[in-house]
């Protein structure tokens, strides 16, 4: 534990057990506790203020090697910086719904691993099945009775079939919980009005971003998600590289997946009925190709979602017409 005075000098630097920390906090007057997001804020006495800092913002302030004492001092110094950005603290309900998202991803990864494992084992016995998961699941009941396979392997496939059924039931339960949250959360309802943002994305967005006003603009929100180019600029010359891939990986992945459906919808739209956003997507797709267009759409969606959440507004496709730059000039104002 590292305690810093208002004059920035360290007056206490000590190591406490969990019980000792609680006793020390209760003995002190209201103060500000700062830590990394992984430390949590549970057990903080009332009257104190908890702030969280991303670990990557603390590293530049650490002197020497990495240990608990150096980390505590670096966190204390970083917290005093006037331009430091803090991580918004989530409520218990938001953490609970994010737990369902996390468990769902775990079940999905386990399902994918089991599919690949079964496909590889079958290939060793000369049975090759396509990469489609639906194809394997469709063939699995027949393979449990295939005479080309030894009895032990057929018993193994039967166990795998039961495991798949259990995983599908768990995934369905997660989807039901997430869909219920998306229906009941006002922020998720507004986010779901945007094409390419389904219940999964809208629920994750509402739970991950408790207050969109902590970001000054949509661009800062997009940069927080890692959807903006990494800069290597110097001497007044701008050099942009690949997207930074920083921030929330899960939410960024959902936005990019949603961009796929948005792009497909724009491609299939009739030119005479295409919206302004769809015309922009088609023009960009012709110039930049498929993958760069996906990132651009995800970036655009992130900025739109920030505006909707920060200003507490519903999605309005014609909002661009009210922008000052799109207003007709009055006589004498040329």
Indicate the pLDDT class of residue 100, thresholds 50, 70 and 90: very high
In this predicted structure, the answer to whether residue 24 has a pLDDT above a threshold of 50 is yes
C-alpha closest to that of 166 among 113, 96, 122, 110: 110
Q: pLDDT at position 45, please?
A: 47
In this predicted structure, the answer to whether residue 305 has a pLDDT above a threshold of 90 is yes
The three-class DSSP label of residue 331 is coil
| 289 dihedral zone (left: phi>0; alpha: psi -120 to 50; beta) | left
Indicate the average pLDDT of the chain. 84
In this predicted structure, the answer to whether residue 73 has a pLDDT above a threshold of 70 is yes
262 with 195: CB under 8 angstroms?
yes
Q: ∠215-218-219 over CA atoms, to 5°?
A: 95
The percent of residues above 90 in pLDDT, for the chain, comes to 46
Indicate the pLDDT class of residue 40, thresholds 50, 70 and 90: very low
Strand partners, 32: 49
Tell the residue number behind the tokens 């990469």, with chain if given.
131
The three-class DSSP label of residue 311 is coil
DSSP state of 13: E
The C-alpha atoms of residue 131 and residue 143 are separated, in whole angstroms, by 16
């Amino acid at each position: 534990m590292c305690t810093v005075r208002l004059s920035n000098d360290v007056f206490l630097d000590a190591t406490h057990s969990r019980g000792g920390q609680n006793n020390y906090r209760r003995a002190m007057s209201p103060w500000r506790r700062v830590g990394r997001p992984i430390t949590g804020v549970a057990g903080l006495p009332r009257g104190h203020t908890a702030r969280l800092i991303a670990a990557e913002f603390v590293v530049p302030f650490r002197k020497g090697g990495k240990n608990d004492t150096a980390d505590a001092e670096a966190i204390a110094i970083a917290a005093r910086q006037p331009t430091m950005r803090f991580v918004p603290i989530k409520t218990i309900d938001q953490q609970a719904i994010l737990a369902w998202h996390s468990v769902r991803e775990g079940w999905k990864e386990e399902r994918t691993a089991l599919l690949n494992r079964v496909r590889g084992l079958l290939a060793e016995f000369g049975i090759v099945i396509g990469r489609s998961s639906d194809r394997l699941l469709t063939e699995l009941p027949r393979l449990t009775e295939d005479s080309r396979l030894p009895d032990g392997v057929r018993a193994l496939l039967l166990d795998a079939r039961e495991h798949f059924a259990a995983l599908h039931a768990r995934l369905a339960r997660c989807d039901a919980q997430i869909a219920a949250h998306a229906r009941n959360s006002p922020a998720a309802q507004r986010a779901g009005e945007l094409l390419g943002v389904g219940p999964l994305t809208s629920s994750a967005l509402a739970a991950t971003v408790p207050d969109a006003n902590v970001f000054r603009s949509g661009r800062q929100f997009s940069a927080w998600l890692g959807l903006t180019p990494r800069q290597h600029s110097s001497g007044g010359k701008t050099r942009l590289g690949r997207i930074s891939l920083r921030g929330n990986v899960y939410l960024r992945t959902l936005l990019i997946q949603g961009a796929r459906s948005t792009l497909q919808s724009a491609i299939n739209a009739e030119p005479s009925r295409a919206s302004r956003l769809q015309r922009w997507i088609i023009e960009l797709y012709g110039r930049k190709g498929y993958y760069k267009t996906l990132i651009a759409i995800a970036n655009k969606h992130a900025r739109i979602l920030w505006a909707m959440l920060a200003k507490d507004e519903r999605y309005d496709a014609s909002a661009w017409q009210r922008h000052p730059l799109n207003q007709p000039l009055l006589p004498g104002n040329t």
